[in-house]
Amino acid sequence: MATERESAVGGCTMLRIPEVIQKKRDGGELSQQELEALVLGGLRGEVPDYQVAAWLMAVYFRGMTPRETVTLTTILQHSGEQVHLPPLGKPTLDKHSTGGVGDKTSLVVVPLLAACGVAVPKMSGRGLGFTGGTVDKLESIPGFRTDFSAVEMAHLVQQVGACLVGQSPELVPADKYLYALRDVTATVDCIPLIASSVMSKKLAGGAEHLLLDVKVGSGAFMTHLPDALELARTLVQIGEMAGRRTLALVTDMSQPLGEAVGNALEVAEAIAVLQRRAGAASARFEVLCIELAAHALLLAGLETDLYQARLRVRKRLEEGAAWQTFRQLVQAQGGDVRTVDDPSLLPQARVRLPICIPQTGYIHAVDARGVGLLAVRLGAGRARKEDAIDHAVGIRILRHVGDHVEPDLPVAEVHAQDDTLAAEVAAELQECFLVGEGAPRFQPLVYAVVPESNQFGG
Ligand code: URA
């Protein structure tokens, strides 16, 4: 049984925590004071984890009202330090993806936007489950630092026009606390909890404009379009209510994005796009980078027409301006520029095993979640939070949905440190490909823009 100290917290009016949990359990709306008592009380150790966990499960089943979701976001946002950017004379924008397999768009979009005149203070996370994380990818560049304070982050943005940093421990500690509890109580995939978690970090990051890439498909948290749309609308609503111009693109994650899945492999693919030498397997990845950057220019008010925005973004990419900004960013954050100039100097796996499929036809599906899980098995991601990762290993997807295949044409390549594991993964990777006789239906890359793009003139 809970002790009196465990049960009652909160300023002058003592709140009884079991009654607060009961209110949510019965579908009620919690007040700011009640949410603070639970979340901040839990963070400070005044409310035991089992009571916070019970509330999380009640939220999972009962949901939250829009007002509760915004209130929770604000509580999380203000639980630690906030980034205050100095006046930069240009719009500031942060970009966030809800996570996917092979999603290395930030590595291209951030320098690309900086090259287009948008300041991008980008805060990223580590890999989560089968989805990769930008911080892990960047750490495959020898020397690259992501642990900057809020003040250092502001300096980097002044110096380079952008930064790619990790979340400092002082920022949004209540989200870290809550996320760890969600992770072990099966309450991660809950729209109001995801939305408040994502937006608290974005709001604390200090950018005026927020661009969100909400992934949908087997390789994303949201596997169904209606859920992804609801998440996108919730994220945008929170951003707008907090006074930040916010736009979300709902994009496909039913097959891995581009060619590479795995940290150094993804950095090398992003460099190939920035250096204008990427192959056909990277085409969807490159198009998505251009779409995201073009919408960001509309959002930041630097363009009023989506067509013109695309042209501007393409031009900066083709001129090499985005590549030069990426190099500067790597240098400013302590990375060894020689390894990005020559990606063969990035960590390399010992074994490379091509895989073929003994069929002739067209690829109808490549299971993104299956590929993500196999990459984790190779060591590219973590099974437990404290696990180390191997930056060199991963999978290259050489053929995508709609591509023709023949028995002796490799569809993928496994990069591993060990022959036995490589062979096991290769056998399972074959099962991730679905081949049929006729060409499959076209698979959209961008399903929706929330709110609709013409609100921003596109
Ligand atoms: N990413 C986050 O930052 N939080 C979530 O809850 C899910 C994905």
Q: Which residue, by CA, sits nearest to atom 5 of ligand 1?
A: 194
Which band of pLDDT confidence, cut at 50, 70 and 90, is reported for residue 1?
very low
Residues 413 and 398: beta-carbon distance below 8 Å: yes
What is the distance between the alpha carbons of residues 373 and 36, in angstroms, rounded to a whole number? 37
Structural domain boundaries enclosing 12:
2-63
Query: Within this chain, do residues 154 and 211 fall inside the same structural domain, yes or no?
Result: yes
Active site residues: 96, 175, 182, 197, 201
Query: Within this chain, do residues 279 and 398 fall inside the same structural domain, yes or no?
Result: no
CA geometry: angle at 440 spanning 422 and 306, to 5°?
100
Query: Within this chain, do residues 108 and 239 fall inside the same structural domain, yes or no?
Result: yes
Domains identified in the chain, total number: 3
Query: Within this chain, do residues 124 and 238 fall inside the same structural domain, yes or no?
Result: yes
Cis ω for the linkage preceding 451 (within 30 of 0): yes
Confirm or reject: Cβ of 194 under 6 Å from ligand 1. Answer: yes
Answer whether residue 128 shows pLDDT above 80: no
Q: Which residue, by CA, sits nearest to atom 3 of ligand 1?
A: 198
Our mutation pick for probing the ligand 1 site, out of 72, 96, 190, 198, counting the most ligand atoms within 8 A of Cβ, is 198
Calculate how far, in angstroms, residue 4's C-alpha sits from the geometric centre of ligand 1.
Answer: 33
Query: Within this chain, do residues 246 and 356 fall inside the same structural domain, yes or no?
Result: no
pLDDT score for 311: 98
Calculate how far, in angstroms, residue 99's C-alpha sits from the geometric centre of ligand 1.
Answer: 8
Calculate how far, in angstroms, residue 32's C-alpha sits from the geometric centre of ligand 1.
Answer: 22
pLDDT score for 243: 93
Answer whether residue 127 shows pLDDT above 80: no
Residue 19 has a CB neighbour count (10 Å cut-off) of 11
Query: Within this chain, do residues 116 and 214 fall inside the same structural domain, yes or no?
Result: yes
Asked whether residue 117 is assigned to any structural domain, the reply reads: yes
pLDDT score for 13: 54
Lowest mean pLDDT among 141-145, 275-279, 416-420, 452-456: 452-456
Q: Which residue, by CA, sits nearest to atom 2 of ligand 1?
A: 198
Calculate how far, in angstroms, residue 198's C-alpha sits from the geometric centre of ligand 1.
Answer: 5
Range picked from 165-179, 181-195, 310-324 for highest mean pLDDT: 310-324
Query: How confident is the model over 80-115, as pLDDT tens digits?
Result: 988 888 888 999 999 999 989 999 999 999 999 999
Q: Which CATH number is 26's domain given? A: 1.20.970.10
Residues 349 and 392: beta-carbon distance below 8 Å: yes
Query: How confident is the model over 24-37, as pLDDT tens digits?
Result: 999 999 999 999 99
Residues 255 and 366: beta-carbon distance below 8 Å: yes
Asked whether residue 315 is assigned to any structural domain, the reply reads: yes
Lowest mean pLDDT among 5-19, 239-253, 429-443: 5-19
The mean of the pLDDT values for the chain is 93
pLDDT score for 105: 97
pLDDT score for 395: 98
pLDDT score for 22: 98
CA atoms within 13 A on the CB side of 64: 29
Q: Which CATH number is 294's domain given? A: 3.40.1030.10
What is the distance between the alpha carbons of residues 57 and 25, in angstroms, rounded to a whole number? 8
pLDDT score for 169: 83
Query: Within this chain, do residues 368 and 336 fall inside the same structural domain, yes or no?
Result: no
Closest ligand 1 atom number to CA of residue 193? 6
Query: Within this chain, do residues 360 and 336 fall inside the same structural domain, yes or no?
Result: no
Which band of pLDDT confidence, cut at 50, 70 and 90, is reported for residue 346?
very high
Which band of pLDDT confidence, cut at 50, 70 and 90, is reported for residue 387?
confident
Confirm or reject: Cβ of 73 under 6 Å from ligand 1. Answer: no
Asked whether residue 72 is assigned to any structural domain, the reply reads: no
